[in-house]
A = this chain, B = another copy of it.
Amino acid sequence: MKAISEATLRRLPTYYHYLEIVNAEGLEYASSTTIANHMGLDPVQVRKDLQVTGVLGKPKSGFKVSELLTAIAAFLNWTNKNSAFLAGAGNLGKALIGYPGFEKYGMSIVAAFDTDPLKNKMKVSNIPILPLGKLPELAERMHVHIGIITTPANVAQEVADLMIEGGIKALWNFAPVHLVMPEDIIVENAQFSTSLAVLTRKLGQTAELELV
Query: A residues engaging B (CB < 8 A)?
Result: 1, 6, 9-10, 12-14, 16-18, 21, 38-40, 75-78, 80, 82, 91-92, 94-96, 98-102, 105-107, 145-146, 153-154, 169-170, 172, 176-178, 180, 184, 186, 188, 190-206, 208-209
Decide: A10 and B82 in contact? CB cutoff 8 A: no
Q: How many copies of the chain does the oligomer comprise?
A: 2
With A and B bound together, what is the CA distance between A205 and B6 in angstroms?
14
With A and B bound together, what is the CA distance between A88 and B33 in angstroms?
32
A6 contacts across to B, CB distance below 8 A:
198
**Nearest-CB residue, chain B, relative to A15:** B178
Decide: A200 and B13 in contact? CB cutoff 8 A: no
Decide: B99 and A176 in contact? CB cutoff 8 A: no
| A205 CB, nearest partner CB in chain B, Å | 6
Decide: A1 and B205 in contact? CB cutoff 8 A: yes
With A and B bound together, what is the CA distance between A170 and B197 in angstroms?
12
Return the contact of A200 from the options B94, B106, B203 (Cβ within 8 A): B106
Decide: B145 and A203 in contact? CB cutoff 8 A: yes
Return the contact of A14 from the options B78, B107, B178, B190 (Cβ within 8 A): B178
**Nearest-CB residue, chain B, relative to A180:** B40
With A and B bound together, what is the CA distance between A184 and B201 in angstroms?
14
Given contacts A99-B91, A102-B192, contact A80 B204 (CB under 8 A): yes
**Nearest-CB residue, chain B, relative to A14:** B178
| A78 CB, nearest partner CB in chain B, Å | 6
Decide: A78 and B178 in contact? CB cutoff 8 A: no
Given contacts A12-B197, A95-B92, A169-B203, contact A38 B192 (CB under 8 A): no
Decide: B196 and A102 in contact? CB cutoff 8 A: yes
Return the contact of A153 from the options B17, B40, B91, B154 (Cβ within 8 A): B17
A75 contacts across to B, CB distance below 8 A:
201
A40 contacts across to B, CB distance below 8 A:
178, 180
With A and B bound together, what is the CA distance between A102 and B198 in angstroms?
14
| A144 CB, nearest partner CB in chain B, Å | 11
With A and B bound together, what is the CA distance between A192 and B1 in angstroms?
25
